[in-house]
């Protein structure tokens, strides 16, 4: 009996700690977004500040998400054991840390856009599909991308509590990246350099995904062996 | 006496049919609990290699019988290793002794009226002489009141002989009509038939020689048991199978076969261990005596290192063969054994201390982490080579070799 | 009381090595208990777990997408 109570306590304890950590991250990202936006606005001296922040945070979030996606594909690649460094636990940690950074820049991106009266996105655009006055479809794609990302991220973060369903749900991460790419291309293609960025990162993720999904998995090898030893 | 017999009653090269078998060995008796006591009394151990006490393996079966619908007794005659032939020799010469063992055992364990027994002989594909011998034996005793018997053919792979492979094959055939044979993780090693997708009926697997011994014990009882050993010795002229008495030493055994005194022998086969000749020469070829010296006869496989052979080279070849025989079902075996084989290959050419360190490290990551013992045996063999051939290892670090002293190695 | 506590805490973590694909989530969820080998497969302690360890091990068991880990009473 006592051991059960203790393990429940420990569970609740770590759950509340995780909640506090997550809340603190979100809050600080929001405040940073606001302060930076205000700061840049104050320095630049016009209302371009928040917009600049929104663009740069958005691009940064996209680049980070691309790296997260690439590390994720590598983490699940059947041939990953060929690389000794970084060590397997470190790889997972890198993947998680990059995800948190992506989240931080994403929140800065959203908060800055909501705060920017010229962007015509507003809270409705940030939270509801087709709620944006500015390019409703691309903004909605971004919104769905965020939802898919939250499903992939939150379920993985809760893996120890909610169980093994995090793994199939983690496939939503693929949707996150694809939608984020579309969102970026459709709502933020204003200079040639940016277009090159989208093409290069798109090719990288596509190539990595092909490499990952064309490789023989342990399950494939098992099935082959299974067939070989079945009479 | 060097050559004694308890199991191989038929002369070499001859097959004993049912009548000859009964004439020489007498009719089968003790198909009841007294067999269990007799086997426990002689402390018979499994001859598939593990030497686990046979009677202790029956305890969980006896416990399961009251609620079981049937008991399947399996004769495991699938010798996966090229250097083992003792089970094939028994199948060819004394098939009825093996079937006697299976019959006596199933009738001893199935005492209630509820359960039925059946007997399966597990044989490698391609072993046609054994197959025809055992099939003829089954036909010869078809008129007897005995449990139904049949042969199941195993894929000719090393891991097909693992008892969990056998159990998986029997269970998958019962479930799907097709037998799949490769090792399987057993949540409860004492009751290996317990699996999520199986019906819970006990399946008892014994090595072919073990079963033949049970057959003889059923006949002669504990008092007349002879603690002989069946060995397969690799000689320049090919594999030789002998049944020897417990007072035979390794020195007399090899001398009788005309084998030149080696520097070391691989005892117990590819998953066994290398032993210096001086350590083992005067020890008896007997599992119990060897155990007191910290050695195991395994499945009776004895591979003397030929004078012109390099022990490290031979070890590398065996390790590579064993890596290729992995079912690739468990990570430590799938990735570990090829790594061991590759490092051993490098070391057999030039023993760099970096590779040696790496090899020891990798060897430490493998044992006990697979569903079967295949990787553990391979690692044991490699580690024993590093100890026994330590001097040669030193030579190899300078690109020399004790087996080829003049020649500079590549 | 004493007896039942002993029984409750006599728990070991076990792995079905055939089910494991070396994903590594277990080591992330139970870092004090499980480490990964060079190929990414978990090294599972064979010892009886204490209360603190059981709570970590439970997370690893739950989070394994291949259902390869389980807690069982030490025989």
Predicted local distance difference test score (pLDDT) of residue A13: 57
Least confident of B384-393, B401-410, C41-50: B401-410
Instruction: Please say if the pLDDT value at position C64 is more than 60.
Output: yes
Q: Chain-wide mean pLDDT for chain B? A: 92
Instruction: Measure B196 CA to nearest chain C CA, in Å.
Output: 13
Show Cβ contacts of residue B274 under 8 Å, excluding neighbours closer than 6 positions.
B264, B265, B266, B267, B311, B315, B381, B384, B385, B387, B388, B389
Q: From the CA of B188, how many Å to the nearest CA of chain C?
A: 10
What's the CATH number of domain B229-304, 3.40.190.10, 3.50.30.40, 3.10.20.600, 3.90.1150.10? 3.10.20.600
Where do the H-state alpha helices sit in A85-217?
A: 88-115, 122-127, 136-157, 159-162, 166-169, 172-188, 192-214
Contacts of A63 (CB under 8 A, 6+ apart): A197, A201
B1 pLDDT above the threshold of 80: no
Q: Which fold has domain B311-397?
A: de novo design (two linked rop proteins) (1.20.1440)
**Which pLDDT tens digit goes with each residue over B206-255?**
999 999 999 999 999 898 899 999 999 999 999 999 999 989 999 999 99
Provide residues of B within 8 Å CB-CB of chain C: 184-185, 187, 329-332, 335-336, 362, 365, 369-371
* A1 pLDDT more than 60: no
Do residues A15 and A161 make contact, with C-beta atoms less than 8 angstroms apart?
yes
Tell me which chain A residues have a C-beta less than 8 angstroms from the C-beta of B178: 230-231
Q: Which of A4-18, A129-143, C9-23 has the lowest mean pLDDT?
A: A4-18
* A86 band by pLDDT with thresholds 50, 70 and 90: confident
pTM: 0.86
B18-220 CATH fold: Rossmann fold (3.40.50)
Distance CA B150, CA B119 (A): 6
Please tell me the distance from the alpha carbon of residue A219 to that of residue A222, in angstroms, as a whole number.
5
> What is the rounded distance in angstroms from the CA atom of residue B365 to the CA atom of residue A70?
29
- Among A125, A100, A103, A106, residue whose Cα is nearest residue A114: A125
pLDDT on residue A37: 65
Residue boundaries of the structural domains of chain C: 2-73
- Is residue B85 within 8 Å of residue B127, measured between CB atoms? no
The residue extents of the domains of chain B are 18-220, 229-304, 311-397
Of C16, C37, C72, the CB nearest to B185: C16
Out of A11, A84, A159, closest to residue C25 by CB: A159
What pLDDT was estimated at residue A214?
Answer: 92
For residue B180, the 8-state DSSP code is: B
> Can you tell me the distance from the alpha carbon of B120 to that of B74, in angstroms, rounded to the nearest whole number?
5
CA distance B327 to chain A (A): 7
**Cα–Cα dist A212/B231, whole Å:** 50
Pairwise CA distance, residues B190 & B56, whole Å: 9
Torsion (CA) B112, B118, B119, B123 in degrees, nearest 10: -140
Cα(B387)–Cα(B123) distance, rounded to whole angstroms? 36
**Confidence grade of residue A41 (pLDDT, cut at 50, 70, 90):** low
Which alpha helices (H) appear in B293-402, and where do they start and end?
A: 311-324, 331-349, 353-364, 374-388, 390-397
Q: What are phi and psi of B264, to 5 degrees?
A: -155, 160
> Do the beta carbons of residue B27 and residue B146 sit within 8 Å?
no
Judge: C63–A160 Cβ closer than 8 Å, yes or no: yes
Q: pLDDT category, C8, cuts 50, 70, 90?
A: low
Contact A229 B153 (CB under 8 A): no
Residue B191: pLDDT band with limits 50, 70, 90? very high
Between B352 and C5, the higher pLDDT residue = B352
Question: Residue B381 is encoded by which pair of tokens?
Answer: 């063999």
What residue in A sits closest to C21 (Cα-Cα)? A218
Backbone angles phi, psi at B110, to 5 degrees: -90, 95
pLDDT of residue B307: 86
The phi, psi pair for C33, rounded to 5°, reads -115, -40
pLDDT band at A5 (very low <50, low <70, confident <90, very high): very low
A95-100's contacts with Cβ under 8 Å and 24+ in sequence apart are A95/A68, A95/A71, A98/A64, A98/A67, A98/A68, A98/A71, A99/A68, A99/A153, A100/A25
pLDDT at residue A14, rounded to an integer = 59
The CATH topology of domain C2-73 is Alpha-Beta Plaits (3.30.70)
């Amino acid at each position: 009996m006592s051991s059960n109570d203790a393990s429940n306590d420990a569970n609740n304890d770590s759950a509340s700690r995780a909640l506090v950590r997550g809340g603190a991250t979100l809050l600080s990202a929001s405040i940073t977004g606001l302060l930076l936006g205000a700061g840049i606005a104050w320095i630049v001296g016009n209302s371009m500040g928040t917009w600049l922040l929104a663009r740069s945070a958005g691009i940064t979030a996209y680049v980070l998400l691309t790296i997260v996606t690439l590390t994720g594909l590598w983490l699940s690649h059947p041939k990953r054991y060929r690389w000794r460094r970084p060590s397997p636990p470190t790889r997972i940690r890198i993947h998680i840390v990059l995800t948190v950074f992506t989240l931080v820049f994403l929140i800065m991106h959203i908060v800055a856009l909501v705060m920017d009266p010229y962007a015509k996105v507003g809270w409705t655009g940030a939270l509801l599909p087709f709620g944006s006055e500015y390019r409703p479809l691309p903004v909605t794609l971004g919104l769905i991308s965020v939802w898919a990302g939250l499903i992939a991220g939150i379920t993985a973060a809760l893996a120890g509590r909610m169980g093994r369903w995090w793994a199939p749900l983690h496939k939503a991460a693929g949707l996150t990246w694809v939608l984020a790419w579309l969102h970026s291309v459709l709502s933020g293609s204003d200079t040639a350099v940016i277009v090159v960025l989208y093409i290069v990162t798109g090719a990288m993720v596509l190539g990595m995904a092909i490499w990952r999904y064309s490789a023989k998995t342990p399950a494939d090898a098992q099935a082959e062996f299974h067939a070989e030893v079945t009479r | 006496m060097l050559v004694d017999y308890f199991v191989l009653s038929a002369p070499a090269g001859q097959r004993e049919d049912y009548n000859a078998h009964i004439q020489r060995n007498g009719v089968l008796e003790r198909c009841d609990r007294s067999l269990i006591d007799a086997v426990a009394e002689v402390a018979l151990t499994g001859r598939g290699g593990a030497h686990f006490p046979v009677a202790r393996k029956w305890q969980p079966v006896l416990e399961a019988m009251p609620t079981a619908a049937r008991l399947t007794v399996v004769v495991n005659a699938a010798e996966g290793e090229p250097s083992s032939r003792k089970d094939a020799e028994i199948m060819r010469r004394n098939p009825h002794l093996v079937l006697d063992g299976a019959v006596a055992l199933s009738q001893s364990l199935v005492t209630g009226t509820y359960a039925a027994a059946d007997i399966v002989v597990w044989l490698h594909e391609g072993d046609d002489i054994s197959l025809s011998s055992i099939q003829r034996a089954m036909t010869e005793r078809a008129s007897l009141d005995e449990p139904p018997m049949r042969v199941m053919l195993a894929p000719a792979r090393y891991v097909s002989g693992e008892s969990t492979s056998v159990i998986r094959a029997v269970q998958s055939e019962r479930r799907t009509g097709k037998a799949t044979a490769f090792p399987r993780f057993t949540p409860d090693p004492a009751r290996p038939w317990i699996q999520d997708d199986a019906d819970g009926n006990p399946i008892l697997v014994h090595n072919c020689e073990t079963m033949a011994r049970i057959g003889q014990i059923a006949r002669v009882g504990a008092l007349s048991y002879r603690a002989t050993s069946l060995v397969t010795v690799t000689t320049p002229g090919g594999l030789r199978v002998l049944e020897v008495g417990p007072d035979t030493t390794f020195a007399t055994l090899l001398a009788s076969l005309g084998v030149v005194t080696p520097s070391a022998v691989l005892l117990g086969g590819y998953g066994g261990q290398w032993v210096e000749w001086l350590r083992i020469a005067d020890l008896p070829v007997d599992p119990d005596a060897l155990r007191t010296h910290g050695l195991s006869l395994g499945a009776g496989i004895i591979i003397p290192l030929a004078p012109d052979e390099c022990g490290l080279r031979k070890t590398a070849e065996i390790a590579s063969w064993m890596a290729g025989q992995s079912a690739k079902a468990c990570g430590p075996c799938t990735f570990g054994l090829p790594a061991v084989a590759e490092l051993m290959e490098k070391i057999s050419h030039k023993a760099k201390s970096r590779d040696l360190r790496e090899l020891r490290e990798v060897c430490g990551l493998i044992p006990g982490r697979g569903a079967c013992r295949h990787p553990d045996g391979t690692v044991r063999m490699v580690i024993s080579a590093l100890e026994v051939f330590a001097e040669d290892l030193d030579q190899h670090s300078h690109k020399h070799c004790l087996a080829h002293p003049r020649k500079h190695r590549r | 009381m004493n007896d039942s506590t002993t029984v409750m805490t006599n728990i070991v973590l076990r792995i079905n090595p055939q089910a494991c694909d070396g994903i590594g989530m277990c080591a992330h969820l139970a870092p004090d208990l499980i480490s990964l080998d060079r190929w990414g497969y978990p090294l599972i302690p064979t010892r009886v777990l204490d209360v603190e360890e059981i709570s970590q091990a439970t997370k690893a068991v739950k989070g394994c997408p291949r259902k390869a880990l389980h807690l069982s009473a030490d025989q």
